[in-house]
Amino acid sequence: MNFRAAILAMVITGTVVAQEPTFEAGVDRNPAGVGEQLTLSFTLANAGVGGGKNLRLPDLSRFHILAGPNQSSSMQFINGAVASSITYSYVLQPKEVGKVTIGSASIEAGGKKLESQPVNLEIVRASSAPKQQAQTPEEVAGKLADKILLKVLLDRTRVLQGEQINVTFKIYTLVSIVDFTLKKAPNYTGFWVEDLDAPKGQTVEVVDGKRYRTGVIKKVALFPTQSGTLEISPMELVTVVQVQSPRSLDPFDAFFRDPFGRNVNYEVRSDPVRIKVDPLPGDAPADFKGAVGQFAMSTSIDKKATRTNEPVGIKVAVSGTGNIKLLEAPAVEFPLDFEQYSPKVSDNISRSGDRIAGSKTFEFLVLPRYPGLKVIKPITFSYFDLGKREYVRLRSPQLEVNVEQGAATPGPLIAGTTREDVRLLSEDIRFIKIGMPSFTRAGDRLWTSAAFLGLLFLPVVALLGTFAYVRRQRANAQDEVGYRNRRAIGVAQKGLKQAEYLLKEKGAKGTPSTAQRTRFYSEVSRALWKYLGDKLNIPQAEFSVERAIAVLTGRSIDNGLLRALKLLLETCDMARFAPTSMDIGAMQKTYDEAKRIIVELERTLK
Amino acid sequence: MTLKNFILALLLCGGALDAAAQSPELLYQQANGLYQAGKIAEARDLYESIASNGYESGDLLYNLGNAHYRLGDLGRAILNFERARRIMPADDDLRHNLQLANLRVVDRIEPTPRLFLWDWWDGIKGAFSAQSALWFSFALFVLLASALMTMMLIRAYVVRKSALIAGVVTALLLAFSLVLTFQKIADDGRRDEAVVVASITTIKNSPDGHSTDAFVLHAGVKVRVIDSVNDWIQIRLADGKVGWMERGAAETI
């Protein structure tokens, strides 16, 4: 009816161009039958922002008020102006036949008191009333409001993280529900949800003195996975309700109508519920991975002896009550040379009782790569025991497997490590060094120690010493022979020059004196001796003409030259010791001969 | 064994107080005894005290590294093994333990590829300590000097020719050895290599606690320190990643 009133209101507001507030009354049918329903509505239009207040109803004592006031409002834009209206409607049921005048209602709006016009209504007998109209969903909703309830029942409202909490969605009804469909499932954010078997069938419960028939729609076990206040959003359900229609005397109507009434859809929703989740105590063991409840663990190995590269299965089964499905695989410390694969996990959960129970099995498959007796350290599993309110640590016995060398088939290895690495990892560090080391002061370095730098100079000094020594030796040895050899001609020429000077000197004075002659010949002789001594490397002290001739003969000197040299030396000796018959011509000849012989020897003895 | 340990323990009770005054040799023996008796933590403290008294030895650092390793302090184990490596790089036990310890480091850092010659060079460097390289160079120097002296002193042709060849070869070897030696001496003095000792540390993008995280390192990773600002050091990893780390999270080798 509200819907209709709203249209009416719209029609009214549409015609009212003026912005003055108006207040009008109307009924949806006239005449109306006794026992039938009619809607009386008052429409306040253009009331402005404040709306209306202090609605005062006329006398309605000749009616049953079935519902109301229902308030609805509408707003429209017409030619740029806002037209708004508020409708207050009442569902009435006339009590007796006759003409009834519904008096004026009043309301205050925009500071003025408005009054509606009276409505004249004719009430007739129901039989003569127009055909009963179908009831609208709104009507049904109004009627069913307290007759169908959807409740959320919790077995506890404060739990520990990981502790089970059972949630039951239960429907309570006073009418007959033919069917229902889930419109919106509740949202269990922060929980792990496990469906429980809902008890079938109906029961009767008395709530507020009314006997409701009840049925469980859904039952779930929730395990909070986080702490804090968690909310379960409402469940929305569309029920199909069978309602009894008012009787009608129309035979056709009766014929076609469902004798059991008709079906109406009705939506129910539950209230949101909050659950307070407390965190677990902080003193959790290192291997605790969130298991809460009561568990037992069993471990088994499928073989006691195997060969390398042949798989071994290790089974770890955890069973009990609690958040089974959330259990994580316990860490198993396999020998490092075992190649391992991620475990195969299977679980078996029983939903029949109120508590989630069951078992979870982890099957580890490993490939031993190296032979030997391999030990798998005890496997531990920790959980929080809800009964004892403390952490419990389960510990399996140590598992052993004897691995023999099998056929060598190199297999893939753990990513990022080489085969050698794996072998190395299975070893231990080498033992400490027991022998006494030589300690040095920190910061002392060989290259900064004076002793070492001194030592560094030793070879340098030795090298320099050797160099100096060799140099001196060579100077001694070489100068004795080679130096004299090279110098010989110079020395000889110097001697001859002296002789030549003497020759020229006496030439100037005519005949040379005996002393002058003796000096000339001794000078020539000395030059020759010195030359031969130097050239032939004969020490001055050992020099004699015979020795010089002998050495020269050994050096294959021309015989003629030797004879000339011998003659010259003898001439010089004779002139020195018997200086009688030597004139200037002979001296010149001797000088020339000496010069010629030296040149000749120099050429030959090169 | 147990009697020996007992005596050692007695010795220690009296000796712990004036540990600093005792000779490093005695302390070292005591620490080894404790280690063998399974009192690793006490042994470690004693080794530490020898080192902090200013005594240095490859064996000492090696044993200290072993103690840290046994106690699960991977970062300091690697730190001390690396320090020992500078003194005795060719030690077989040390190589084994360092390799094993490095394998246990959580972070796998792949060094950026480089010219194979550098790997060879590092291999040669790894076979010598600075001191042994210096002795080697010195020996070559003595050889070279001997060859030169032989050439100067002996005039026989065959001897001079052999000495010349020997001298040239020695000179080439010496040149190489000197490069190696100076490199090793420079390496010995360098203070830019460090090992992460914090069990886990976050590397930031800038030297500031509020800076964004770059990556995470675990104990035992060897890093190169390239800069420092206040309490932060800038580090570079072998794979080229760069970031800032709190100074206390790593210790210089």
Render A200-252 in DSSP notation, one character per residue.
PS-EEEEETTEEEEEEEEEEEEEEESS-EEEEEPPPEEEEEEEEPPPP---HH
Answer yes or no: do B138 and A439 touch at CB < 8 A.
no
Cα–Cα distance for residue pair A267/B137, rounded to 1 Å: 98
Q: How confident is the model at residue A411 (pLDDT cuts 50, 70, 90)?
A: very low
B67 to chain A: closest CA residue: A432
Cα–Cα distance for residue pair A351/A198, rounded to 1 Å: 10
Q: Of chain A residues 469-508, which have a CB less than 8 A from chain B?
A: 470
Helix (H) or strand (E) holding A394: strand A390-395
pLDDT at A234 over 60: yes
Shortest distance, CA A313 to any CA of chain B (angstroms):
26
Chain B interface includes A207 (CB < 8 A): no
How much is the ipTM here? 0.73
Top-ranked range on mean pLDDT: pick from A3-12, A22-31, A162-171, A469-478: A162-171
Residues A515-526, mean pLDDT to the nearest whole number: 80
The reported pLDDT for the residue numbered A318 is: 92
A432 to chain B: closest CA residue: B63
Residue in B55, B63, B188 nearest the CB of A439: B55
Look up tokens 């460097």; give the residue. B125
Q: Which of A116, A148, A97 is nearest to A27 (CA)?
A: A116
pLDDT at B74 over 60: yes
Can you say how many angstroms the Cα of residue A364 is from the centroid of all Cα atoms in its chain?
Answer: 27
pLDDT at A412 over 90: no
Range with lowest mean pLDDT among A161-170, A418-427, B45-54: A418-427
A446 to chain B: closest CA residue: B131
Strand partners, A403: A306, A372
pLDDT at A543 over 60: yes
User: What is the number of CB-based contacts under 8 A between chain A and chain B?
Assistant: 100
Chain A interface includes B84 (CB < 8 A): no
Chain A interface includes B96 (CB < 8 A): yes
Can you say how many angstroms the Cα of residue A283 is from the centroid of all Cα atoms in its chain?
Answer: 28
What's chain B's average pLDDT? 85
Range with lowest mean pLDDT among A196-205, A481-490, B20-29: A481-490
Residues of A in contact with B188 (CB under 8 A): 445
The reported pLDDT for the residue numbered B19 is: 44
Domain ranges of chain A: 2-130, 142-277, 291-425, 478-604
Q: How confident is the model at residue A114 (pLDDT cuts 50, 70, 90)?
A: confident
The dihedral formed by the CA atoms of A387, A393, A397 and A399, expressed in degrees to the nearest 10? 130
Answer yes or no: do B149 and A439 touch at CB < 8 A.
no
The reported pLDDT for the residue numbered A9 is: 45
Which tops the pLDDT comparison, B114 or A214? A214
Q: Which of A153, A146, A445 is nearest to A271 (CA)?
A: A153
The reported pLDDT for the residue numbered A422 is: 64
Chain B interface includes A447 (CB < 8 A): yes
Which tops the pLDDT comparison, A442 or A581? A442
Answer yes or no: do B32 and A417 touch at CB < 8 A.
no
Phi, psi angles (nearest 5°) of residue B30: -60, -45
Decide: A533 and A539 in contact? Cβ < 8 Å. Answer: yes
What 3-state class would DSSP assign to B179?
helix
Residues of A in contact with B152 (CB under 8 A): 466-467, 470
Residue in A444, A445, A470 nearest the CB of B153: A470
Q: Which of B237, B188, B253, B56 is nearest to B245 (CA)?
A: B237
Residues of A in contact with B135 (CB under 8 A): 446
pLDDT at A148 over 50: yes
SS (H, E, C) A490-541: HHHHHHHHHHHHHHHHHHHHCCCCHHHHHHHHHHHHHHHHHHHHHHHCCCHH
CB atoms within 10 A of CB A223: 26
The reported pLDDT for the residue numbered A419 is: 58
pLDDT at A15 over 60: no
What is the biggest distance separating any 2 CA atoms in chain B, rounded to whole angstroms?
Answer: 80
CA separation, residue A577 to residues A39, A521, A574, B50 (Å): 188, 10, 5, 100
Q: Of chain A residues 329-358, which have a CB less than 8 A from chain B?
A: none
The one-letter amino acid at B120: W
Token output for A346: 């299977």
The dihedral formed by the CA atoms of B147, B149, B155 and B157, expressed in degrees to the nearest 10? 10
Range with lowest mean pLDDT among A180-189, A462-471, B81-90: A180-189
Q: Which of A305, A488, A491 is nearest to A402 (CA)?
A: A305
Token output for B112: 């950026």
Q: Which of A111, A117, A51 is nearest to A84 (CA)?
A: A51
Cα–Cα distance for residue pair B252/B107, rounded to 1 Å: 19
Residues of B in contact with A466 (CB under 8 A): 148-149, 152-153
Top-ranked range on mean pLDDT: pick from A26-35, A122-131, A343-352: A343-352
The reported pLDDT for the residue numbered B10 is: 45
> What totals of helices (H) and strands (E) does chain A contain, helices first?
10, 32
Q: Which of B12, A571, A406, A581 is nearest to A563 (CA)?
A: A571
Q: Which of A287, A273, A279, A297 is nearest to A162 (CA)?
A: A279
Decide: B4 and B30 in contact? Cβ < 8 Å. Answer: no
The dihedral formed by the CA atoms of A211, A213, A218 and A222, expressed in degrees to the nearest 10? 20
Residues B83-107, mean pLDDT to the nearest whole number: 88
- In A206-277, which ranges are continuous DSSP H helix? 251-256
Q: Which one-letter DSSP state was computed for residue A330?
A: P
Answer yes or no: do A442 and B54 touch at CB < 8 A.
yes
Top-ranked range on mean pLDDT: pick from A219-228, A397-406, A531-540: A219-228
Q: What is the CATH number of domain A2-130?
A: 2.60.40.10
Determine whether domain A142-277 maps to CATH 3.40.50.
no
Decide: B64 and B40 in contact? Cβ < 8 Å. Answer: no
SS (H, E, C) A270-320: CCCEEEEEECCCCCCCCCEEEEEEEEEEEEEECCCEEECCCCEEEEEEEEE
Range with lowest mean pLDDT among A368-377, A465-474, B165-174: A368-377
Decide: A371 and A390 in contact? Cβ < 8 Å. Answer: no
pLDDT at A328 over 80: yes
In the CATH hierarchy, which fold is given to the domain comprising A291-425?
Immunoglobulin-like (2.60.40)
Pick the CATH number of A478-604 from 3.10.590, 1.20.120, 1.10.3470, 3.40.1350: 1.20.120
A422 to chain B: closest CA residue: B103
Q: How confident is the model at residue B170 (pLDDT cuts 50, 70, 90)?
A: very high
Answer yes or no: do A433 and B93 touch at CB < 8 A.
yes
The reported pLDDT for the residue numbered A139 is: 62
Strand partners, A269: A236
The pTM is what? Answer: 0.43
Strand partners, A25: A42
Q: How confident is the model at residue A32 (pLDDT cuts 50, 70, 90)?
A: confident
Residues B38-60, mean pLDDT to the nearest whole number: 90
The dihedral formed by the CA atoms of B21, B22, B25 and B28, expressed in degrees to the nearest 10? -90
pLDDT at A416 over 60: no
Residues A415-435, mean pLDDT to the nearest whole number: 70
- In A426-449, which ranges are continuous DSSP H helix? none
Strand partners, A300: A315
pLDDT at B138 over 90: yes
Residue in A433, A441, A446 nearest the CB of B62: A433
Range with lowest mean pLDDT among A127-131, A310-314, A539-543, B167-171: A127-131
Question: Can A142-277 and A478-604 be said to share one CATH topology?
Answer: no
Cα–Cα distance for residue pair A133/A138, rounded to 1 Å: 14
Token output for A234: 């409402």
Residues A294-300, mean pLDDT to the nearest whole number: 91
Phi, psi angles (nearest 5°) of residue A166: -100, 135
A66 exposure class (CB count in 10 Å sphere: 0-12, 13-18, 19+): middle
What's chain A's average pLDDT? 78
Give percent of chain A with pLDDT exceeding 70: 82
pLDDT at A606 over 50: yes
Cα–Cα distance for residue pair A408/A601, rounded to 1 Å: 95
The reported pLDDT for the residue numbered A78 is: 64
Strand partners, A364: A314
pLDDT at B7 over 60: no
Residue in B32, B58, B104 nearest the CB of A432: B32
pLDDT at B171 over 90: yes
Residues of B in contact with A431 (CB under 8 A): 66, 93
CA separation, residue A32 to residues A66, A117, A122, A279, A330 (Å): 15, 19, 6, 66, 78
Look up tokens 């001079």; give the residue. B160
pLDDT at B15 over 50: no
A473 to chain B: closest CA residue: B153
